Structure 1
């Protein structure tokens, strides 16, 4: 669909966009789940919502990193997560540009294309590459001030534009910790599952009136939480 040409529609901002490909991908996932897991619930970024009767729910991000997808950058993916009640069961992230698929969960060692990932090496925030995103209008607010406390302690910083892809890089040790505020479940849960399946951890903390999410190496996450909680 991208090769044939797509028009992006703005959602919340110029960097928050959606295309017909996002909607088509979500529809494909929802239709497949309706056949394979008809009793399960579904929650999709592009509006899919079904309660189900099994107590399980699939959380779907059909294209995570749509701005990158539209711009021709390859840091985008398709991602799903499965939750059972309040428990995260697994996540799956497919990176179409490289043909790599990550699968993992708290009780399921993370793999890429079936090969088990090494456990995440622990390190402090001061020795970590922090992946994040902060919408520029927040920079001059209290949220920006809190963000500065975290970013100022990191070894280096990257804003790459896809939370789930950032999580795969953390799971592989190419990045070390992710932190962002107000993260919706489709942006959080697939990557959280992969990171936890690779021996990392996740946390949420309230600061500056918003909920912050952090995931990655154990000490780095604890350092992020400490900086946010000051």
Structure 2
């Protein structure tokens, strides 16, 4: 489970992992979470304004990572640098763990987990479905297996006009309004499912096979292209379940807290953790367990064991 008390993760298959397992501690309880939330939201909003402005000027691809379609824009790099500098001014003893630059250790017990542009390909293509994602956590997000607890998080989608925010045990919000899951679907047949696809062509084929296997068993399938926004969509009730394989902490640290604080169940029975692989599920409490059963039934075994060192 992620971002709160452990949801009884159980061993299922060798090599299958739920990312991450969270451990609580007295330090987390002593931190001013609302101060962290204020910083998180403020810095994420400023960074979102920056990347939105840069897109209007014209997007420049600066590099590729895991494949030719896994791109980094100049705005990704600039935004992460901006976020890092702003956080260092406000909380110089904190650690930093971002997608586009080297990590720095924490001397305060707090680390900032940052994705400067989640949904970079959407950003490149002019889609509004991208966001700046920042979370303040306790623990070490770089450890394997991952073990940290998110205390505050913000996901800011400037071209959607939405700011999602959450504080541990304090609720989830969109544009300042509290969000709480309502009554969910009564069966898998009424469940709207979201997921993401890997940058690896080989893994995309396996993911498509999983989609095909569940297509006649759920209401419909959705693909947005930004994990943080998928998780926030769960929180708002825009989709009932989200799952993805092979994510990194910066992809979900803030979004998972938003989903959990809205009342969504993150993780669930059957899932466990092992170094280097990850499966993330989030959804309405009434359908998440049967959905996990369905996923494990239809997903190719090679896909379930393929999360190592891969970002979707």
* Superposed pair shares fold, TM > 0.5: yes
2:77 match:
23
Unpaired segments ≥5 residues, structure 1: none
**Of 208, 216, 220, the match for 1:156:** 220
Q: What SS class does the counterpart of residue 219 from structure 1 fall into?
A: coil
1:128 match:
191
Q: What SS class does the counterpart of residue 102 from structure 1 fall into?
A: strand
Q: How high is the TM-score relative to the length of structure 1? A: 0.89
2:154 match:
92
User: Is 1:4 the equivalent of 2:66?
Assistant: no
Structure with greater Cα Rg: 2
2:279 match:
212
* Mean CA deviation greater in 55-64 or 129-138: 129-138
- Deviation per CA, 1:191-227: give whole Å up to 9, x if none: 10100110101117369x9431101211332123223
Q: What SS class does the counterpart of residue 278 from structure 2 fall into?
A: strand
Higher RCO (CA < 8 A, seq sep 6+): 2
2:49 match:
none
Unpaired segments ≥5 residues, structure 2: 1-53, 140-147, 298-312
Q: How high is the TM-score relative to the length of structure 2? A: 0.67
1:43 match:
97
1:52 match:
106
- Deviation per CA, 1:50-109: give whole Å up to 9, x if none: 111122211001000010111011000101112112222122000111332110144121
Change (3 A) 1:144 1:157: closer
**Of 102, 107, 117, the match for 2:164:** 102
- Aligned pair count reads 228
Quote how far apart the aligned CAs of 1:150 are.
5.0
Change (3 A) 1:126 1:47: farther
**Of 13, 25, 32, the match for 2:67:** 13
**Of 208, 233, 239, the match for 1:175:** 239
2: distance between equivalents of 1:187 and 1:4?
26
- Higher strand residue share: 1
The two structures, once aligned, show a CA RMSD in angstroms of: 2.3
Quote how far apart the aligned CAs of 1:128 are.
1.8
1:196 match:
260
2: distance between equivalents of 1:210 and 1:93?
24
- 2:150–2:254: 8 Å Cα contact kept in structure 1? no
Quote how far apart the aligned CAs of 1:3 are.
2.0
- 2:119–2:225: 8 Å Cα contact kept in structure 1? yes
1:137 match:
202
Quote how far apart the aligned CAs of 1:148 are.
4.9
2: distance between equivalents of 1:103 and 1:130?
23
